[in-house]
Amino acid sequence: MGKVRTSAVVVRQIQLSPGIFDLRLFVPAIAREAKPGQFVNVWINDRARILPRPISICGIDRANGVIRLVYRVTGEHSGTVEFVSFERGSRINDTRFTGETTGTEELSSYQRGTELMTLGPLGNGFPTDFEDVCVIGGGIGLPPMLGVLKAVKGKKTAVLGYRNSDMFLKEEFDAAADRVIVATEDGSFGTRGTVLDAVRESGYEPKAVLACGPKPMLRALKAWAAEKSIPLWVSMEERMACGVGACLGCITPSTETDEHSQVKNKRVCKDGPVFRAEEVDLG
């Protein structure tokens, strides 16, 4: 059936941690077709906001027609800015300006019963048929990897990267994985440093790796996987506009010529967001 543009209804939305929200949408047409690692475009109910927000799918409940999106509120938040001028220590002018909410901030306010437009499922997902695989997520790259982990067949290890001890979704990773390894930037839990530091410290060498996170993390994993001859799939994060490969707004350098543009580029939304690591140039 492929991607569909259709209305979705909010089933539930809760805040998991500061700036991180867990949104469940009733959208059977997408839930029926979605695969781990794909994403959906979500339109905000504000006609001034033309472009949708692309959000990775964290979970799929086909039986109930529900998809789960865990996302971070990004951009400039709303707030009141006060402009004050003084003359001899006295306030003589007080002008207030209230900034607009960002798209994801507005999305985070939607509660049960809210309807919104969606398009999906979009992009390519991760392979999930492995005898032994390591699933790695860093930051907001963690949510899609939870869905991937639950779908993986065979033995599975999860490596999770956080800034600090605010470890959203960790309990769910604990329940889904055979083993969980954690790295925190501040050393408050697990290995102090990066996910690669944690893997090296553990001595674990997986047979295959699936990863999503910031580009520096993916770049380091690519070099390590090449050194160890470990197959690596990465899910890339890029700013997107159309989400279907038409606008070329999410181009990333590739190691091979793209059939669409005839240059060494890949469209993250259409050709990805999941790639074999050797397909893309991570810098």
**In-domain check, residue 94:** no
Domain count, the chain: 2
On whether residue 85 sits in a domain, the answer given is no
Same domain, 114 and 159: no
Do 117 and 183 share a structural domain?
Answer: no
Do both 118 and 170 map to the same domain?
Answer: no
State whether 135 and 236 are in the same domain: yes
Q: Is the confidence at residue 27, as pLDDT, over 80? A: yes
What average pLDDT score do residues 65-81 get?
A: 72
Check whether residue 155 and residue 260 sit in a common domain: yes
Same domain membership, residue 43 and residue 179: no
Which token pair is 198? 């944690």
Helix (H, G, I), strand (E, B) or coil at 116: strand
Q: Which residue has the higher pLDDT, 262 or 18?
A: 18
Whether 155 and 234 share a structural domain: yes
Question: Among 122, 156, 178, where does a domain finish?
Answer: 122
Is 259 part of any domain?
yes
In this prediction, residues 107-111 reach a mean pLDDT of 96
Q: Could you read off the pLDDT of 76-103 as tens digits, one per residue?
A: 433 322 222 223 333 333 333 334 457 8
> What per-residue confidence (pLDDT) applies to 261?
64
- Predicted confidence at residue 1, as pLDDT, reads 60
Pair 156, 21 in one domain: no
228 phi, psi to nearest 5 deg: -95, 0
- Whether residues 273 and 137 share a domain: the answer is yes
Check which CATH number belongs to the domain holding 54 and give it.
2.40.30.10
CATH number for position 167: 3.40.50.80
In the structure encoding, which two tokens stand for residue 16, read together? 């998991």
In a domain, 99, yes or no: no
Residue 91 forms part of a structural domain? no
Residues 133 and 259 in one domain: yes
Same structural domain, 254 and 145: yes
Residue 88 and residue 108 in contact, taking contact as beta carbons nearer than 8 Å: no
- Residue ending a domain, among 59, 91, 122, is 122
Is 80 a domain residue?
no
Range(s) of the domain holding residue 210: 129-279
Q: Is residue 232 part of a domain?
A: yes
**Domain-located, residue 272:** yes
The whole model's pTM is what?
Answer: 0.86
pLDDT at 245 exceeding the cut of 80: no
Are 191 and 160 found together in one domain?
yes
Q: Are 252 and 268 in contact (CB under 8 A)?
A: yes
Taking 80 as the threshold, does the pLDDT of residue 248 lie above it?
no
157/136 Cα distance (integer angstroms): 8
Q: How far apart are CA 189 and CA 174, in angstroms?
A: 15
Closest CA to 36 of 137, 109, 108: 137
Which range, of 50-59, 97-106, 248-257, averages the lowest pLDDT? Answer: 97-106
> CB of 37 within 8 A of CB of 16?
no
Give the model's confidence band at 241: pLDDT under 50 very low, under 70 low, under 90 confident, else very high.
confident
Element (H, E) at 217: helix 215-228
